[in-house]
């Protein structure tokens, strides 16, 4: 979110609340651990409030403003007193930054919602734009491509930041797929309400991924990644799918999204 508050220099060691997100918590906790590593390496003190819950986006996008406010109030309480709130998801960060002020307009929590929006960031944007991280110490030999998720790109202006940091990863060759900025067809509840349209969109995305020659696909939103990974697997593709934070943190021991967990020898 672009604002005067977002341009203020961070404290010497900012206290950052990690907004884990529902999908990361339930399906890919390794993204949360990667986020903690990247934030701590950047000089942040990381707090993970146990009372946090969904950002309220599913209800909000479905037109259920009452329940969305109820869920969002829990988020407001959980992240009080922190310098920043950071989410490894442009979608959830966009919900807080762009939609909380509208959701609470005219409500008693309006000022608090606006204050939370002003200090909430998507993870990679926070590292690059606030903490001024220019490179990471990581080795990942692969030919890779990056998908620009809709909320991060269109609501938060995230495009160059992940490419900048990925460019510092030793051994990683970053190639651009065709139509990298086009939706993957996930859209949260959209893919459930309109499965045929969603499948058509993700099929085209999968073609572009494969035609790029990449062996690794990255993005900043787990929902998009799960959607694309599912389609790629159904096509028999060998392209690995990972969250950008996992790559920047060097978490090569984790199986790719959709792959079975590695068996530990007894």
Residue 9 C-beta-side C-alpha neighbours within 13 Å: 2
The pLDDT tens digits of the residues spanning 37-94 come to 999 999 999 999 999 999 999 999 999 999 999 999 999 999 999 999 999 999 999 9
In this structure, what token pair is assigned to residue 54? 């969904």
Q: How far is CA 152 from the centre of its chain?
A: 8
Secondary structure (DSSP) of 38-94: HHHHTTPEEE--TT----SHHHHHTT-HHHHHHHHHHHHHHTTT-SEEEES-HHHHH
The pLDDT tens digits of the residues spanning 168-199 come to 999 999 999 999 999 999 988 788 888 899 99
Q: Which residues contact 211 (CB under 8 A, 6 or more apart)?
A: 177, 178
Q: Which domains does the chain have, with CATH numbers?
A: 5-129 (3.40.50), 134-248 (3.40.50)
Query: Are the beta carbons of 251 and 30 closer than 8 angstroms?
Result: yes
Q: What pLDDT is recorded for position 262? A: 67
């Amino acid at each position: 979110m672009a604002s005067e508050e977002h341009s203020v220099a961070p404290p010497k060691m900012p206290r950052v609340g990690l907004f884990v997100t529902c999908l990361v918590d339930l399906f890919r906790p390794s993204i949360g651990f990667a986020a903690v590593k990247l934030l701590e390496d950047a000089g942040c003190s990381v707090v993970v409030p146990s009372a946090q819950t969904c950002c309220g986006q599913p209800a909000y996008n479905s037109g259920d403003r009452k329940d969305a406010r109820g869920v969002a109030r829990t988020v407001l309480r959980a992240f009080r007193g922190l310098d920043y709130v950071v989410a490894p998801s442009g979608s959830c960060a966009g919900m807080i930054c762009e939609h909380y002020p509208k959701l609470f307009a005219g409500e008693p929590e309006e000022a608090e919602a606006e204050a939370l929006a002003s200090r909430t960031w998507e993870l990679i944007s926070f590292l690059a734009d606030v903490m001024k991280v220019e490179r990471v110490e990581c080795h990942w030999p692969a030919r890779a491509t990056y998908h620009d998720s809709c909320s991060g790109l269109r609501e938060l202006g995230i495009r160059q930041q992940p490419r900048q940091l990925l460019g510092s990863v030793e051994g990683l060759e970053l190639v651009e797929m065709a139509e990298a900025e086009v939706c993957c067809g996930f859209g949260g509840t959209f893919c459930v309400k309109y499965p045929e349209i969603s499948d058509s969109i993700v099929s085209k995305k999968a073609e572009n991924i494969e035609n790029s020659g990449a062996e690794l696909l990255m993005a900043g939103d787990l929902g998009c990644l799960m959607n694309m990974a599912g389609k790629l697997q159904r096509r028999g593709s060998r392209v690995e799918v990972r969250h950008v934070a996992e790559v920047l943190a060097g978490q090569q021991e984790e199986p790719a999204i959709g792959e079975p967990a590695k068996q530990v020898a007894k």
